[in-house]
Amino acid sequence: MAAEKFGNTDDPSGIYSDVIDDFFVPVLKLFDPRQVDNFFIRNGFNALMPRQFVEYDHANTGPGGQGWSLYYEYLGGDASQLPIRDFPEHIDQLHGIVYSESFITKTVGMMDAVLERSGRMSAKSRIALALRLYESSQTYRREGDATACHNHERLQEILGDTLHSVPD
Span 32-72, pLDDT tens digits: 888 888 888 888 888 887 677 666 666 665 555 555 667 88
- 10 Å CB burial of residue 152 (0-12, 13-18, 19+) is buried
Q: What is the DSSP letter of 51?
A: -
Does the pTM exceed 0.75? Answer: no
Q: Where are the beta strands (DSSP E) in 16-144?
A: 45-47, 72-74
For residues 76-89, b (16+ Cβ closer than 10 Å) or e, as one string?
A: eeeeeeeeeeeeee
